[in-house]
Amino acid sequence: MVMSPAVRQSDNATTARSTFAKSSLSLPKSPLFGTDGIRGQVGDLLDAPLALQVGFWAGQVLRDNYGTGSIVLGQDSRNSSSMLAMALSAGLTAAGLEVWDLGLCPTPCVAYLTHASEAIGGVMVSASHNPPGDNGIKFFGADGAKLSGDLQKRVEAGIRGQLDPLTSEAWGHHYSRSELVNRYLNALQTPLNGDLDFRGMRIVLDLAWGAACDVAPKAFRALDADVVCLHDRPDGDRINVNCGSTHLEALQAAVLERHADLGFAFDGDADRVLAVDGRGRSIDGDYILYLWGQHLRQTGQLPENSIVSTVMANLGFEKAWERQGGKLVRTPVGDRYVHAEMQRTGATLGGEQSGHVICSHYGVSGDGLMTALHLAALVKRRQNPLSDLVDGSFQTYPQLLRNVRVEDRELRLNWQHCAPLQAAIEHAKTAMGDLGRVLVRASGTEPVIRVMVEAAHAELADRWADRLVLAVRQHLVG
């Protein structure tokens, strides 16, 4: 019997899709998804075969949860990003979904366009602030928020061969849609247009050779700022290297040299930003949240005077905000935890010390460019230098954050089971008492254990940070 073309296509599609349920990938025992998607060194954990599987099974889960539709796809400037993006697109289209490929763009651009369109999900290829050899895959649901933990577990179950693929008679299609990035830019500028401009302000932007290279200068120049750019070409070999939000030295020097009003440093995918005031001082997310929170409170846009931050937020920030009648709600580290708590409590402002800031009045995710525009607008409205606003806010407690590289993934992710290290942590907490606090955790984005010690006195923080770093090296590194 001769089959019709439609029947042959359906049978071929079913046969092809069934192969995804028989993956022979060598996967680690520990979960693939961390605090910010899947992240690792390219060629080690991350490669094209894995990205193909991730795309296919994410497509299956998103289809099952939201129905058939489009997926918004973006990437940063890493050399490996195009390879991973194409593999993801192949998997998504194999799952029967349409892919809108934005090309180079910030992560919050993907989140915004997913939320503002009929798309059922979004995916960004980026390792954020990590070095060039790393990369990552992060997903967004139809609402533009990071994909929930439950849905991530379902995607991983499919990759591990624990789910059956959905049936479908059609393949998806891949479309280049870089023009959609302008919709994101317009959405950023609209709340400020007609309200004020940045005429007379000189602003330095460190673009980290990454995803903000095109959009950030456009946004500030559209509001008449005098813009000076650093590291302003997409460069996969140099993204985040001695620049951007993790290395402020070049920005600090440029702000002083060019007599700028302020500066902003983005990370590789522009979902976070740190500022530098006119005196060359770094201004982290705690100060940004405090100043923006003050503005929203004064304009009646901050429910219950509540700000959501993480366990990393400085005690000085918390105590100063409480003195003003405010409330600081802490979550685990990770902007998806901040966003979840904001949704649960109805808070409109939240973020992290590292520069992820979410303001639900203007966006659905942490957005470095949105944050930079609104902080510059706040400075313009107050008619005071950023340095004066910071000096009038709060004093931070000495806080030391040290990273210990632990290459063994299983050991790193199961560090809580190391009895000698737990004993060292408890000893530090007991010894400091009310004068300090300790936070030890495995990074969800880098192969490191992070040790944070905060204390009323710098000497106390330094002493216990040294001891805890030594304990991590002795018991997890060898």
Active site residues: 128
Q: Is the sign of the CA dihedral 139, 144, 145, 147 positive or negative?
A: negative
H or E element in which residue 4 lies: none
From CA 121, how far away is CA 141, in angstroms rounded? 5
Q: Which two tokens stand for residue 133?
A: 């050899």
From CA 211, how far away is CA 351, in angstroms rounded? 20
From CA 288, how far away is CA 356, in angstroms rounded? 10
Q: What angle do CA 450, 452, 453 make, to 5 degrees?
A: 155
What is the gyration radius of the CA atoms in the chain, in angstroms? Answer: 23
From CA 56, how far away is CA 62, in angstroms rounded? 10
From CA 270, how far away is CA 267, in angstroms rounded? 5
From CA 171, how far away is CA 97, in angstroms rounded? 7
DSSP string covering 395-434, please? -PPPEEEEEEE---HHHHHTGGG-HHHHHHHHHHHHHHGG
Amino acid symbol at 295: H
Cβ within 8 Å of residue 116, ≥6 positions away: 144, 183, 187
From CA 393, how far away is CA 296, in angstroms rounded? 15
Task: For residue 200, count CB atoms less than 10 angstroms from its CB and return exposed for 0-12, middle for 13-18, buried for 19 or more.
Answer: exposed
Neighbours of 147 (CB within 10 A): 24
